[in-house]
Amino acid sequence: MAYSERFEEALLFAARLHRDQVRKGTAVPYVTHLLAVAAIVGENEGEEDQVIAGLLHDAAEDQGGEPTLEEIRRRFGEGVAAIVAGCTDAVTIPKPPWRQRKEAYLEHLREAPPRVRLVSAADKLHNARAIVADLRRHGPKLWPRFTGGREGSLWYYRELLAALRDGWDHPLLDELQRVVREMEALA
C-alpha cells in the first residue's frame, strides 16, 4: 500500500511543528522520534490514519494544545485527530503534575481502542529503546533528565505495559516488554 498525499502533508506539518524541538537531554532533532514511531506503526500493519497519527502523536501535547488538535482534525480528519487525542496525556498549559498526568493516561489507555493502542505502543517502544541506548552509553546519570526520575520512569513503563495488555494483544507488546526488562536490568 502506498501512502497518499495526506501522509506527505502530515510529514511536512510535523517537521514544521517540531522544528526547534530536540529529544530530552540530547541534541537529536525531535522529528527523528516522530519518524520512528510512524515507521513502527507502519511496520506493524497500521493503517494510513495510524501512521499519520504516529507522525503527529505529540503535536497537541507539545505544540499548542487544543488549537493544534483542531488543526489536525481540519487537515487530516476525525480519525487521525481521535488517535492523536488518545495518545495525548495533556493539552492544557501548564500541564498537570507528572504523576497525576501519567496515572490518568494509564487509566485512559485501558479503555482505548486498538488503533490508539498501536500508536501509543509504538511511541513508548521507541522511547524505551532510546532510554536503553542512553543507559548503555551514559549509565544512571541520564535519569535526572526525566521528570519521574529512575523510579518514576520504571514504574511508568511497567504500568504502561500492563495497561496496554489489558484487553489487547499485539506482537508489539512482546517487544515492548523485552525492552522494558532490559531497561530495568540496566537501571
DSSP H helices, the chain, are 5-17, 31-43, 48-56, 59-62, 66-76, 78-86, 98-111, 114-138, 149-165, 171-186
Q: Which domain holds residue 106?
A: 5-186
CATH code of the domain covering residue 170: 1.10.3210.10
Are 88 and 60 spatial neighbours (Cβ–Cβ below 8 Å)? yes
Q: Assess whether pLDDT exceeds 90 at residue 72.
A: yes
Which of 43, 119, 111 has its CA nearest to residue 81? 119
Question: Could you give the CA distance from residue 47 to residue 149 in angstroms, rounded to a whole number?
Answer: 35
Q: Is the pLDDT of residue 93 over 90?
A: no
How many CB atoms are located within 10 Å of the residue 128 CB?
Answer: 22
In the numeric block, which cell numbers belong to residue 168?
489487547
Backbone φ and ψ of 22, nearest 5°: -125, 160
- Mean pLDDT, to the nearest integer, of 73-100? 94
pLDDT at 1 exceeding the cut of 80:
no
What is the pTM for the complete model shown? 0.95
Residues 112-153 have pLDDT tens digits of 999 999 999 999 999 999 999 999 999 999 999 999 999 999
Alpha-carbon gap, residue 141 to 151, rounded angstroms: 13
What is the number of structural domains in the chain? 1
- pLDDT tier at 100 (50, 70, 90 boundaries)? very high
